[in-house]
Amino acid sequence: MRGTLTPRLWATTLGAALAAGVLLVAGILAGSSDLGVGDVLHTLFVGGDRTDYFIVFELRMPRVAAAVLVGASLGMAGALTQAFSRNPLATPDILGVTSGAAAGAVATIVLGGGAYAVGAGLLGFGLPVVACAGGLLTAALVYGLSWRSGVDSYRLILIGIGVTAALTGVVNYLVVRAQLTQAAAATQWLVGSLSGVSWTSVWPVAVTLLVVAPLALGQTRALEVGQLGDDVSVGLGVSLQRHRLVVLACAVVLTSVAVSAAGPIEFVAFVAPQVARRLAGSSRPPLVASALVGAALVTAADIVGRALMPWPVPVGIVTAVVGAPYLIWLLTRRSSAERTASA
């Protein structure tokens, strides 16, 4: 098993941080107004006129900050679930956590008045709380149904797919039964979009990431040992059930708060950890590098969707276009490897 702090991992982490930083600046620059690099830097560090200040700090900065924080949360959540289950397919999207959080959030949007501006009233701090509750309940359900004297990763994935399908039906029912304005708000949010994000939406994600990330990083050694199997982990003193509960709770909270801010942005939690693992050459997805790759991925997808397309495209559609072919490739590759091993 390779060490966790190799030069290659350091280089990957620093490279991902640099890419995320460059894309953050590019995200602030991207837009229909004629603001150049000098104008943006002057507004950020010196202060510009009222129009430039409004464009930079009220329109672009919340969106870019949300992209970075949401991507980092999803990237770390995916790394946690993939490392915990030792399976690259075990992501919050597939395990039903994203659908559970989405179901709770859609119920809040529909029953709370349908305002798409997430920063208004109940939808400010109420939406993250409800989304986290939905994600936690779904994770507990999937984990409980998967338990058979232990948790097998493939059983976990299959049950997660089934629960996801059931929750998708619940979401569709809520949208169909909602009033027109509420249904429109929920449908736009379900695509995965950063267009309605305000600072009120950003702060819950920032605070949650600041609190949960250290807890997740505290499980690094146990995750590393866990790649050798449950028996080895117990033999080396890992409290297996406590470790799993902490890892799952961290992944669920990170996913749920990201979903509450920007909707279910698909495939980021799946792709980012695998990209980081391959770049770092590590035995499992590295947590910090996965978070930074996720931040870069969501920010880049948002820039493509709003600045490089003939019309605005939600970030969730861009990430799906990238992530779906990667999922198909990974499934095909794993099937080929299994056939070769059995031959």
- Tell me the average confidence (pLDDT) per consecutive run of 10 residues in the chain, 343 residues long: 71 95 88 68 72 79 93 95 85 88 84 49 61 86 80 78 91 85 78 84 92 92 77 70 84 90 89 92 91 95 86 88 80 59 48
Angle between helices 240-262 and 61-85 (to 10 degrees): 150
pLDDT in tens, 17-59: 999 999 998 888 876 666 666 767 777 777 767 777 777 888 8
Residues 195, 101, 246, CA angle at the centre, nearest 5°? 120
User: What is the CATH class of 7-342?
Assistant: mainly alpha
* Three-class SS state of 136: helix
Q: From CA 56, how far away is CA 149, in angstroms rounded? A: 54
What is residue 152's predicted lDDT score, i.e. its pLDDT?
A: 67
Q: What pairs with residue 82 in β-bridges?
A: none
**Alpha-carbon span 1 to 221, nearest angstrom:** 12
CB 48 within 8 A of CB 324: no
For tokens 């949010």, the residue is: 189
User: Phi/psi zone of residue 104: left (φ > 0), alpha (ψ -120 to 50 degrees), beta?
Assistant: alpha
Q: Strand pairing partners for 151?
A: 147
